[in-house]
């Protein structure tokens, strides 16, 4: 049972918390019906992503066996059989699909696009330099769009919030590439050939670009006219320091602690990062809901 839970990669489900951005920024966080739909949407994406993780493990079985960390996963370590992974993949896909359908016609196309993108990533896109990290970022954007699509009423998407989501995901993906390249060193291409296309000096040029883009896009979102109209002023700008600290902290973990291989694990295990996220969320909720 422990191996099955690990195969579903429950820790990776934290990525799908992005879906709650829609209900939070649409001022529906205290609405029981909308929150229930958000939880269902979250679970739908968790099951869909778990089905893709299973497919990815089956495709990368041999290369994962030579990875210093991934070789301990249930499938490459032999704690679970490939047949069992196939069954789990089908069950997760069925559960995710059923939950998606229950949320209506505006949610289903986004969920289907997310699933198609990730299957295409597993089979092809992750082998194309730069396209791989861009695909990961687009997956996070689709999560954000899905969070709006599950609402029972139409909401205008802020392009700046989508850009912020895109650049933040790109920042994490590029940081992960650097971690993998440094961790595996000469064995990087043996594990995944595309890693040979990401020498540390190239990644170290990309990181400042996506770092600046992440912070700037979020800062502009907080002071954009549409955002100020929605929250009643430029008060969200006071959350920018939390974003800056979060980005700086992650850079510290990448370059000083040689971490960054799993952003989800960092979220759950690095206390300053976790505390910063909780504080950011608390301030956002107070600005949106607590001042009245």
pLDDT on residue 153: 84
Q: What sign results for the dihedral spanned by CA atoms 212, 217, 286, 44?
A: negative
Q: Of 178, 258, 188, which Cα lies nearest the Cα of 211?
A: 178
> Is pLDDT of 68 > 80?
no
> Is pLDDT of 70 > 80?
no
The residue behind tokens 């099951």 is 47
> Is pLDDT of 224 > 80?
yes
Q: What share of the chain in percent tops pLDDT 90? A: 49
pLDDT on residue 248: 93
Task: Give me the mean pLDDT over the 228-241 stretch.
Answer: 88
CB 35 within 8 Å of CB 47: no
CA distance 267 to 259: 12
> Is pLDDT of 185 > 70?
no
Higher pLDDT, 270 or 192: 270
pLDDT on residue 188: 57
> Is pLDDT of 1 > 90?
no
Q: Establish how many alpha carbons lie within 13 A of residue 26's alpha carbon, considering only the half-sphere containing its beta carbon.
A: 23
Q: Across 61-65, 67-71, 97-101, 181-185, which has the greatest mean pLDDT?
A: 97-101
Q: What Cα–Cα distance (Å) separates residue 98 from each residue in 14, 41, 68, 91, 202?
A: 21, 11, 37, 11, 43
- Give the model's confidence band at 177: pLDDT under 50 very low, under 70 low, under 90 confident, else very high: confident
Q: Of 134, 259, 127, 137, which Cα lies nearest the Cα of 197?
A: 127
pLDDT on residue 272: 93
CA distance 95 to 251: 37
> Is pLDDT of 187 > 70?
no
CB 135 within 8 Å of CB 125: yes
> Is pLDDT of 238 > 80?
yes
Residue 156 is classified by DSSP as: P
Lowest mean pLDDT among 43-52, 219-228, 240-249: 219-228
Task: Give me the mean pLDDT over the 112-128 stretch.
Answer: 93
> Whole-model pTM?
0.88
CB 259 within 8 Å of CB 199: no
Q: What share of the chain in percent tops pLDDT 70? A: 95
The residue behind tokens 């966080």 is 29
Give me 104's structure tokens: 């209506």
Task: Give me the mean pLDDT over the 234-255 stretch.
Answer: 92
CA distance 281 to 118: 28
Q: What sign results for the dihedral spanned by CA atoms 265, 6, 77, 191?
A: negative
CB 145 within 8 Å of CB 157: yes
Task: Give me the mean pLDDT over the 114-119 stretch.
Answer: 95
Q: What Cα–Cα distance (Å) separates residue 64 from each residue in 16, 59, 74?
A: 24, 10, 11
CB 19 within 8 Å of CB 37: no
Q: Across 40-54, 68-82, 148-162, which has the greatest mean pLDDT?
A: 40-54
CB 247 within 8 Å of CB 186: no
Q: Establish how many alpha carbons lie within 13 A of residue 214's alpha carbon, considering only the half-sphere containing its beta carbon.
A: 27
pLDDT on residue 107: 95
Give me 165's structure tokens: 């989501």
> Is pLDDT of 182 > 80?
no
CB 288 within 8 Å of CB 29: yes
- Give the model's confidence band at 186: pLDDT under 50 very low, under 70 low, under 90 confident, else very high: low
């Amino acid at each position: 049972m422990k191996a099955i839970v690990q195969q579903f990669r429950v820790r990776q489900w934290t990525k799908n918390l992005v879906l709650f951005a829609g209900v939070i920024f649409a001022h529906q966080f205290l609405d029981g019906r909308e929150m229930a739909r958000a939880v269902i949407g979250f679970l739908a994406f968790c099951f869909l992503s778990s089905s893709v993780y299973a497919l990815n493990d089956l495709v990368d079985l041999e290369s994962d066996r030579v990875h210093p960390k991934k070789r301990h996963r249930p499938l490459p370590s032999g704690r679970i059989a490939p047949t069992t992974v196939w069954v789990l993949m089908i069950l997760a896909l069925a559960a995710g699909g059923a939950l998606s359908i229950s949320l209506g016609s505006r949610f289903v196309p986004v969920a289907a696009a997310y699933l198609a993108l990730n299957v295409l990533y597993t089979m092809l896109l992750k082998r194309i330099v730069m396209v791989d990290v861009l695909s990961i970022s687009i997956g996070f954007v689709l999560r954000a769009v899905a969070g709006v699509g599950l609402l029972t009423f139409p909401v205008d998407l802020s392009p700046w919030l989508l850009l912020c989501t895109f650049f933040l995901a790109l920042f994490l993906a590029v940081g992960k590439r650097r971690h993998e390249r440094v961790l595996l060193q000469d064995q990087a291409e043996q594990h995944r050939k595309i890693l040979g296309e990401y020498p540390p000096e190239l990644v170290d040029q990309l990181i400042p670009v996506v770092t600046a883009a992440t912070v700037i896009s979020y800062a502009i979102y907080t002071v954009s006219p549409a955002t100020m109209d929605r929250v009643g002023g430029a008060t969200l700008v006071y959350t920018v320091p939390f974003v800056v600290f979060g980005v700086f902290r992650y850079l510290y973990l990448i370059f000083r602690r040689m971490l960054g291989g799993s952003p989800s694990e960092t979220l759950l295990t690095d206390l300053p990062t976790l505390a910063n996220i909780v504080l950011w969320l608390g301030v956002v909720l107070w600005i949106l809901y607590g001042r009245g």
